[in-house]
Amino acid sequence: MYYSRKRPLDNIPEELTAIWSCTNESCNGWMRDNFVFLVQPTCSICQSPMEKGEKMLPAVVNTSPTQSKH
Ligand SMILES: [Zn+2]
Q: What is the pLDDT of residues 54-68, one digit of tens each?
A: 999 988 766 656 544
Q: What percent of the chain has pLDDT over 70?
A: 73
Does the residue 7 lie in any domain? no
- Spacing, Cα 19 to ligand 1 middle (Å): 13
CA gap 44, 22 in Å, rounded: 9
Is 5 within the bounds of a domain? no
pLDDT tens digit sequence for 10-27:
778 899 999 999 999 999
Query: What's the Cα-to-Cα distance from 6 to each of 9, 13, 40, rounded to whole Å?
Result: 9, 14, 41
Q: Alpha-carbon distance 35 to 38, whole Å?
A: 9
Q: Is residue 66 part of a domain?
A: no
Q: Which domain holds residue 32?
A: 14-59
If you measure from the C-alpha of residue 53 to the centroid of ligand 1, how many angstroms do you get, rounded to a whole number? 14
Counting the structural domains of the chain, the total is 1
Asked whether residue 6 is domain-assigned, the answer is no
